[in-house]
Amino acid sequence: MLGDSISAAYGINLEEGWVTLLAARIEQERLPYTVVNASISGETSAGGLRRLPALLETHQPGIVIIELGGNDGLRGYPIGQLQSNLHDMITLSEESEAQVLLLPMEIPPNFGKFYTDAFRASFQNAIEGSQAVLGDFPLKDVALEAALMQGDGIHPTAVAQPIILESVWQNLSKLLP
C-alpha cells in the first residue's frame, strides 16, 4: 500500500485505519497476502515514485495499491507530472510482476474546471497501456458527509474507515485469487 494521509490514518489511531482493516480482512478470509502499509502523510506522487523501487525490492509484492495524487493536486502541481509519476509507478510495479490497483483522488473545485477535470483524467490516462485496474475514489461515500470527515474536511474519521475499506475491497477483490 503506497499512499498518503488517507491511507496512513491521519488524525486517527493507525489501528483504526482502512489499511489495518484491510489486513484484518485478508487474514480473516485466509488469503495468502500480508499487507504492508508504506503510506506517509503528505506524500506526493514524486515521493512515492522515489520510494517505490526499494519497496518493491524489499517486499516483492504480488499486488501494489497506489493511493497518491491528492497532495499533488492540492499543491497545484502540473498534471503531466502527476500522470507521468503514476504511470512510472505502475510500470515499475508491473515489471516486478505485481498487479496494480490505482485509487484515484479528487480535489476541491476551487482549482477551476480545467485543472480539476485534467486532474481527474490523469488517473485514467496513467493506466493506459498497462494491466492496472483503476478503482473508485475511495472517499466517494464519505467525502461529502460532514459526520464522516475530520474538522479539516479532508481526512476521514475512524467511523468512515470501514466504508473506505468496502469501496477499496470491491476493486481489490477482482485481483485476488
**Domains, the chain, ranges and CATH?**
2-169 (3.40.50.1110)
Identify whether 152 is a catalytic site residue: yes
Identify whether 93 is a catalytic site residue: no
Fill in the DSSP letter of residue 3. Answer: E
Identify whether 4 is a catalytic site residue: no
**128-144 pLDDT, tens per residue?**
999 999 999 999 999 99
CA distance linking residue 52 with residue 61, whole number of Å: 11
Catalytic residue among 45, 72, 155, 167: 155
Per the structure block, which three cell numbers stand in for 19?
A: 489499511
Helical axes 45-59 vs 79-95, angle rounded to 10°:
10
**54-63 pLDDT, tens per residue?**
999 999 999 9
**34-59 pLDDT, tens per residue?**
999 999 999 999 999 999 999 999 99
Question: What pLDDT does 79 receive?
Answer: 97
Q: How many CB atoms lie within 10 A of CB 7?
A: 27
Question: What pLDDT does 32 receive?
Answer: 93
What's the whole-number average pLDDT of the chain? 97
